Amino acid sequence: MAKNNSGKITVVGANMIDLIAYVPRFLNVGETLHGSEFVMGYGGKGANQAVMAAKLGSKVVMVTKVGEDVFGGGTKENMAKYGIDTTHVLSTGSAFSGVAPITVTPEGQNQIVIVSGANNLLTNAEIDAARSDIAESAYLVCQLEIDLKLTLKALQVAKEVGTPTILNPAPAVESLPAEIYGLTDIFCPNETETQILTGMKIDSVPSAELAAKELLSRGVKTVLITLGENGCLIVDENVSIHIPADKVKVVDTTGAGDSFVGALAHFLALGLSLTDSATKAVKVASISVGAKGTQSSFPDRKDIPADILEG
């Protein structure tokens, strides 16, 4: 599906500072609870996906906006550390950088609040300024953590220059503009996001397939639903393929979906098939849940078995 195998990817999306508290259980309303550990790290769905792809070896361009604060400067330095092109990582003094307070239980489950801040001050003109990078990329990757109008603009630019698109519709909203579905080549929600978008309960692979067909009917070319410990499901007008995941010890699921999407984009940009790319991305995501944190849990190439990295 990729128009070239240059390995270059452009990501338009949010960056956040993750404020992670490890707790014995999720809180009840009005409750104060002692946590066991606190970690601060770099996150945001767009930045996470960009970092995962860069760690695997892709050439990545990030389009986002940070505040003129300590978090913003650190975010840009963090991306540069992974070799991400930060030409389009812009700054504003009109809002704080985005933050994401996160609670994580001993079972590795998480709850996340996002405050987008400076991310939503990105403009259509600033996205358009990245047009040449989008045109040179094998894939454009987007999410829903920035203003929906900005995501739509990025998808429109990709369509105009002929670059295939991956949309991770997270965090999910109950309704999306119809145009977004038609502009998306690979629509990649998780189970919860699929339920919110379709109103259909997902409790098995067959139920996920029915929901995927509903999304296809809205104009998406291919639906790829991530199923957590059950791997993922690929559905298009011709096939339905379930890719299982290996059983692993789960420490922290924070960022697992982003590691999957970043890895998926990386392998697709190398020219692998969607099935092969998704199979490898499931394995990368399975490694990420074995460590704490978000980007800090994403494996480096040296930590990934050679057979996964091979094209």
Q: CA 300 to CA 268: how far, in whole Å?
A: 18
Q: How far apart are CA 174 and CA 273, in angstroms?
A: 31
Structure tokens at 115: 């405050």
CATH code at 8-15+44-97+118-301 = 3.40.1190.20
**Confidence (pLDDT) at 6:** 63
pTM of the model: 0.91
Q: Are 225 and 207 in contact (CB under 8 A)?
A: no
Angle between helices 256-269 and 45-56 (to 10 degrees): 50
Q: What are phi and psi of 97, to 5 degrees?
A: -60, 155
Residue 64, CA distances (Å) to 48, 99, 113 in order:
12, 14, 19
Residue with tokens 């190439």: 301
CA distance 254 to 273: 27
Record the tokens describing residue 109, joined without a space.
């489950």
pLDDT values of the chain reduced to their tens digit, one per residue, 311 residues: 555 556 899 999 999 998 999 999 999 999 999 999 998 999 999 999 999 999 999 999 999 999 999 999 999 999 999 999 999 999 999 999 999 899 999 998 989 898 999 999 999 999 999 999 999 999 999 999 999 999 999 999 999 999 999 999 999 888 999 999 999 999 999 999 999 999 999 999 999 999 999 999 999 999 999 999 999 999 999 999 999 998 888 888 888 999 999 999 999 999 999 999 999 999 999 999 988 888 989 999 999 999 998 76
Catalytic (active-site) positions = 258
d(CA 254, CA 259): 10
Nearest to 5 by CA among 207, 270, 217: 270
Q: What is the pLDDT of residue 293?
A: 80
